């Protein structure tokens, strides 16, 4: 086991982490029972486990705009299921026994416990595209996740994720479009407030710089420097005059900078005000009979160029090919079960062992895939608590 960080104690007790480790070792035990692993020839095998305490850490926004990216307080949740993973690395080195007839077999296969996948083209803070079920393998459904942008465009190969679960509750829940609008509005307003605070701070600092006291301090400093032995290029009077002239030039540049950075059109402040107006307009167009209609994305988001443009890429009226915007369903897990119970297992990277991804390993890790085919998947399902 790795990642023995101090944060573990803030997330769970030693007894709970020991129980989680025991569950991860049960998965490792099933791997060890595969005939080729039990009596290996030409294999070099590594199995590594991790405690993932960061999934207990939740960042609670501080301030009235509690949906925006503003300062957070960290809270460790000691009630949610613990998360861990165990990774297998057969053929860990490039030197492979010739009897296996494979070339450079080396790719990790990762089993993760109790983590709902949320990395399918992230959109905002916790929102992403709903994964698409692509096929079934080993008696379990597989979903397109991880590189949904490629799948969405139809231009690249996606990463499949196998999902084994203990109940039929949805893993993801749809997000109302109005909530996306409200979140983007809040982000735009937060930026506006930040611009205004920064402008006010710069103005205060500039006013302080202009004060008679600071001006006198600078002039005295210039006279001391002018009289110093290292100052040989000009007479003291010339040095002081040139320094004061530099101050006046700086003052002119600063006044111009402040006038252009204030709350006016054409500035960053003005762009965010435009975002607020655009999103407010979009919000007003929501279906009157269903103001909480769910959000869909009908094209892969391009380069971010404002919250208003970004908001316009979502719709409540999907066309063919549109994808639903979702969040992880925190109600999926059964709260009556122990935190250490195995309620969800995801398997990632197995599809790298298929011919469709030849660039991952020259041998396409076909032998790795044979190991998966010979694993007792029914026994893996018996590890699930209900």
Q: What angle do CA 158, 162, 166 make, to 5 degrees?
A: 150
Residues 156 and 209 in one domain: no
**Would you call 177 exposed, middle or buried from its count of C-beta atoms within 10 A (0-12, 13-18, 19+)?**
buried
- pLDDT reported for residue 37: 81
Residue 353 lies in a domain: yes
Is the pLDDT at 7 greater than 80? The verdict is no
> Does residue 54 contact residue 7 with C-beta atoms inside 8 Å?
yes
pLDDT digit string, tens, across residues 102-125: 444 556 788 999 999 887 777 888
Domain count of the chain? 2
Q: Is residue 167 part of a domain?
A: yes
Does the structure show a pLDDT above 70 at 186? yes
Would 61 be classed as within a structural domain? yes
pLDDT tens digits, one per residue of 124-183: 888 888 888 888 888 888 887 755 555 454 445 556 788 999 888 999 999 999 999 999
The kind and range of the H/E element at 84 are strand 84-89
Contact 158, 119 (CB under 8 A): no
The reply to whether 189 and 47 lie within a common domain is no
Instruction: Give a yes or no: residue 161 inside a domain.
Output: yes
Claim to verify: residue 199 and residue 104 sit in the same structural domain: no
SS3 (DSSP) at 373: helix
Determine what percent of the chain is predicted with pLDDT higher than 90.
Answer: 19
- 308-320: pLDDT as tens digits: 888 988 999 888 8
Q: Looking at the structure, do residues 145 and 184 belong to the same domain, yes or no? A: no
Report yes or no on 279 lying in a domain: no
Q: Answer whether residue 316 is part of any domain.
A: no
- Do 43 and 144 lie in one domain? The reply is yes
- How far apart CA 256 and CA 284 sit, in angstroms, is 38
Contacts of 361 (CB under 8 A, 6+ apart): 104, 105, 106, 107, 352
Say whether pLDDT at 367 is over 80.
Answer: no
Shared domain check, 207 and 159:
no
Are 190 and 162 in the same domain?
A: no
Whether the predicted pLDDT of 13 surpasses 80: yes
* Tokens standing for residue 40: 């290996």
> Quick check: is 224 in a domain?
yes
183, 136: one domain? no
Residues 241, 158 share a domain: no
Residues 161 and 214 in one domain: no
Q: How far apart are CA 203 and CA 258, in angstroms?
A: 7
Spatial distance between the Cα atoms of 73 and 168, rounded to a whole number of angstroms: 34
Radius of gyration in angstroms for the set of CA atoms belonging to the chain, rounded to a whole number: 30
Say yes or no: 153 and 193 in one domain. Answer: no
Sole residue written with tokens 């030409």: 42
Please check whether residue 275 lies inside any domain of the structure. Answer: no
Residue 194 sits in the same domain as residue 245: yes
User: In the 3-class helix/strand/coil scheme, how is 121-188 assigned residue by residue?
Assistant: CECCCCCEECCEEEEEECCEEEEEECCHHHHHHCCCCCEEEEEEECCCCCCEEECEHHHHHHHHHHHH
> Could you give phi then psi for residue 355, rounded to 5 degrees?
-65, -20
Q: Indicate the residue among 236, 270, 304 that finishes a domain.
A: 270
Boundary (domain end) residue, out of 270, 298, 318: 270
* Pair of tokens at residue 334: 């059964």
From the number of C-beta atoms within 10 Å of its C-beta (0-12, 13-18, 19+), residue 21 rates as middle
Report the range out of 39-53, 304-318, 341-355 with the highest average pLDDT. Answer: 304-318
Residue where one domain finishes, among candidates 245, 270, 295: 270
pLDDT band at 341 (very low <50, low <70, confident <90, very high): very high
**Domain around 11:** 7-118+131-171+329-382
């Amino acid at each position: 086991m790795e990642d023995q960080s101090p944060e573990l104690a803030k997330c769970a007790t030693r007894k709970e982490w020991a129980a989680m480790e025991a569950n991860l070792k049960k998965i490792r035990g099933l791997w060890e029972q595969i005939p080729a692993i039990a009596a290996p020839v030409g294999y070099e095998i590594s199995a590594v486990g991790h405690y993932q305490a960061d999934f207990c850490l939740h960042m609670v926004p501080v301030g009235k705009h509690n949906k925006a990216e503003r300062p957070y307080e960290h809270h460790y949740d000691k009630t949610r299921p613990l998360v861990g993973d165990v990774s297998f690395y057969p053929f860990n080195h490039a030197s492979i026994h010739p009897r296996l007839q494979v070339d450079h077999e080396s790719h990790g296969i990762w089993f993760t416990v109790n983590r709902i996948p949320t990395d399918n083209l992230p959109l905002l803070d916790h929102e992403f595209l709903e994964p698409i079920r692509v096929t079934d393998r080993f008696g379990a459904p597989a979903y397109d996740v991880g590189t949904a942008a490629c799948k969405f465009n139809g231009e690249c190969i996606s990463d499949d994720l196998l999902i084994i679960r203990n109940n039929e509750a949805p893993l993801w829940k749809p997000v109302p479009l109005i909530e996306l609008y409200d979140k983007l509005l809040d982000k735009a307003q937060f930026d506006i407030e930040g611009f205004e605070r920064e402008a006010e701070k710069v103005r205060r600092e500039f006013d302080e710089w202009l004060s008679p006291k600071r001006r006198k301090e600078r002039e005295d400093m210039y006279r001391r420097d002018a009289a110093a032995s290292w100052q040989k290029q000009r007479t003291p009077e010339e040095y002081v005059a040139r320094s004061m002239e530099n101050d006046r030039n700086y003052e002119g540049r600063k006044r111009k900078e402040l006038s252009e950075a204030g709350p006016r059109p054409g500035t960053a402040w003005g762009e965010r005000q435009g975002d607020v107006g655009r999103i407010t307009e979009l919000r007003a167009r929501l279906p009157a009979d269903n103001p909480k209609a769910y959000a869909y994305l009908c094209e892969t988001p391009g380069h971010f160029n404002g919250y208003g443009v970004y908001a316009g890429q979502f719709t409540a009226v999907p066309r063919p090919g549109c994808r639903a915007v979702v969040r992880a369903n925190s109600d999926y897990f059964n709260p009556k079960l122990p935190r250490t119970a195995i309620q969800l297992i995801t398997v990632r990277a197995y599809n790298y062992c298929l011919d469709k991804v030849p660039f991952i390993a020259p041998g396409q890790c076909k032998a790795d895939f044979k190991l998966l085919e010979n694993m007792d998947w029914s026994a893996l399902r018996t590890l699930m608590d209900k």
